[in-house]
């Protein structure tokens, strides 16, 4: 039987960060990391910009100057050590291999850097919290003292006919991203007709990148009446839809997916209005389903996520949760929340790892912040968008591409979307949101 002090279930960005947090506080304890993919710790949010970036028609390599999306050329900190290992993003990096931009972590690297026993391409088939025992898919039994669940999520798959047809893709794993890029590359001079299903950040980013491929014909199908209705006011959402249409994306708004047609490979995408859209490939971006199978039928397996306290510990003493499955109390914005985005996953993982050792007692606090780049517009989404705003205010000008949409409840700022704003402006918005909790004076934006 394998014995370890700390079992970390899930080798995504949060799981690897948990291991780093453990090693910051405990240099000797035995750590076992289990994950079902071949590589670990990469940033899923970077799959689209790294793999879907259009090629340079002259060389076949990715070319930032030819792309319709704004490049990001700053280094990416993947948190490989205490100081952080920097890996240059493939976005805007010419012909660089897209895999490099994700800063993937292989088992040998993790074992050398963190002295962790890594079991990739492995799952846990049995998990007994009471006895602190588990069984791996390899048949090996293990016994652990403490554990952290960081199992993340999987792409939500619509319950419609034809969802299993060839060339119906999601964008959740490295394999997904590589497959999408391969299909686009095989399109040749005739291009590829692509249908993107969804209206969130991933769908919008994917459509904005795919339309830049030679000959690509991209259709965006979204059930909402406007793009990004959750984050923007009505006029700004309509403006964003016009930006997409002007760049060549065919917008099919107010359409609900009904199914995929074809024998073995996709031929058409059908909507509930009866429309049949010819397609050589569909990219479905309809959210995430949490991987809670290990704790199903237990108090840790609620549909919204595994409940944890402010220290990221579950009601099962010595068992923590981090990453997308952890539903933690948000003392800044209120209510329970789950984190999104690479930086949040890294920070939460390190806090959970440190607390797991018992040598740290740190609260996890995070103001939600997502970043997306579409057709040269850099968007920062900050705050709580879970409730429709009572009032919205626009500061700046849409046509110039520099503005802030403020979401207000009771005259207080609860969320904001900044477009092409300096870092100081975004930080000012965060200070103002925190001030409503702390009682500090309202921050003044520059």
Q: What is the pLDDT of residues 36-92, one digit of tens each?
A: 998 899 988 889 988 998 876 544 444 433 333 333 332 233 333 332 323 323 333
Q: Which of 35-39, 108-112, 316-320 has the highest mean pLDDT?
A: 316-320
- State the pLDDT at residue 437: 61
CA distance 291 to 442: 40
- State the pLDDT at residue 188: 57
> Rounded to whole angstroms, what are the CA distances from 194 to 210, 211, 226?
8, 9, 20
**Mean of the per-residue pLDDT values of the chain:** 87
- State the pLDDT at residue 190: 58
**Contact (Cβ atoms closer than 8 angstroms) between residue 122 and residue 11:** no
Model pTM? 0.86
**Contact (Cβ atoms closer than 8 angstroms) between residue 260 and residue 235:** no
Confidence of residue 142 (pLDDT cuts 50, 70, 90): very high
Q: What is the pLDDT of residues 212-252, one digit of tens each?
A: 999 999 999 999 999 999 999 999 999 999 999 999 999 99
* Percent of the chain topping pLDDT 70: 86
- How many other C-beta atoms are found inside a 10 Å radius of the C-beta of residue 285? 26
- Ordered domains of the chain (ranges, CATH): 2-41+105-154+291-356 (3.50.50.60), 157-286 (3.50.50.60), 376-438 (3.30.390.30)
pLDDT reading at 151 higher than 80: yes
Q: Which segment of 3-7, 328-332, 350-354, 421-425 scores lowest on mean pLDDT?
A: 328-332
Confidence of residue 386 (pLDDT cuts 50, 70, 90): confident
Confidence of residue 401 (pLDDT cuts 50, 70, 90): very high
> Rounded to whole angstroms, what are the CA distances from 119 to 31, 40, 232, 418?
11, 10, 43, 41
Eight-state DSSP code of residue 40: B
- State the pLDDT at residue 192: 86
DSSP string, 290-358: E--GGGTTSTT--TT-EE--TTSB-SSTTEEE-GGGEEEE-TTT-SEE---SHHHHHHHHHHHHHHHTT
Q: Which segment of 160-169, 184-193, 194-203 scores lowest on mean pLDDT?
A: 184-193
- State the pLDDT at residue 332: 80
């Amino acid at each position: 039987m394998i014995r370890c002090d700390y079992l970390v279930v899930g080798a995504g960005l949060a799981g690897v960060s948990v291991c780093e947090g453990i090693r910051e506080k405990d240099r000797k304890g035995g750590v076992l990391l289990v994950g079902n993919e071949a590589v670990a710790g990469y940033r899923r949010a970077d799959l689209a910009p790294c793999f879907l970036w259009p090629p340079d028609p002259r060389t076949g390599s990715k070319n930032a100057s030819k792309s319709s999306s704004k490049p990001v050329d700053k280094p990416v900190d993947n948190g490989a050590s205490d100081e952080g290992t920097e890996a240059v993003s493939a976005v805007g990096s010419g012909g660089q291999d897209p895999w490099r931009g994700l800063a993937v972590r292989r088992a040998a690297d993790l074992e050398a850097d963190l002295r962790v026993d890594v079991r990739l391409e492995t799952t846990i088939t049995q998990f007994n919290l009471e006895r602190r025992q588990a069984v791996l898919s390899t048949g090996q039994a293990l016994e652990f003292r403490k554990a952290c669940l960081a199992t993340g999520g999987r792409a939500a798959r619509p319950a419609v006919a034809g969802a299993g047809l060839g060339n119906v893709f999601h964008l959740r794993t490295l394999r997904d991203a590589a497959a999408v890029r391969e299909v686009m590359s095989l399109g040749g001079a005739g291009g590829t007709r692509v249908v993107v299903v969804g209206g969130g950040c991933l769908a919008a980013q994917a459509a904005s990148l795919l339309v830049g491929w030679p000959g690509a014909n991209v259709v965006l199908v979204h059930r909402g009446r406007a793009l990004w209705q959750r984050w923007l006011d009505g006029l700004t959402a309509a403006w964003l839809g016009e930006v997409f249409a002007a760049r060549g994306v065919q917008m099919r708004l107010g359409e609900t997916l009904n199914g995929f047609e074809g024998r073995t490979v996709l031929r058409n995408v059908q909507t509930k209005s009866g429309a049949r859209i010819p397609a050589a490939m569909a990219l479905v971006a309809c959210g995430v389903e949490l991987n809670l199978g290990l704790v199903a039928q237990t108090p840790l397996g609620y549909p919204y996520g595994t409940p944890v306290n402010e220290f990221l510990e579950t009601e099962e003493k010595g068992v923590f949760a981090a990453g997308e499955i952890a539903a933690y109390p948000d003392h800044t914005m209120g209510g329970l929340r789950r984190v999104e985005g690479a930086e949040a996953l890294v920070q939460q993982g390190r806090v959970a790892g440190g607390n797991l050792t018992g040598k740290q007692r740190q609260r996890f606090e995070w103001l939600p912040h997502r970043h997306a780049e579409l057709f040269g517009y850099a968007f920062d989404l900050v705050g709580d968008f879970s409730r429709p705003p009572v009032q919205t205010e626009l500061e700046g000008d849409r046509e110039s591409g520099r503005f802030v949409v403020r979401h207000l409840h009771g005259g207080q700022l609860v969320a904001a979307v900044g477009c092409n704003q300096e870092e100081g402006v975004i930080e000012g918005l965060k200070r103002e949101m925190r001030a409503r909790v702390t009682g500090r004076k309202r921050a003044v934006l520059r």
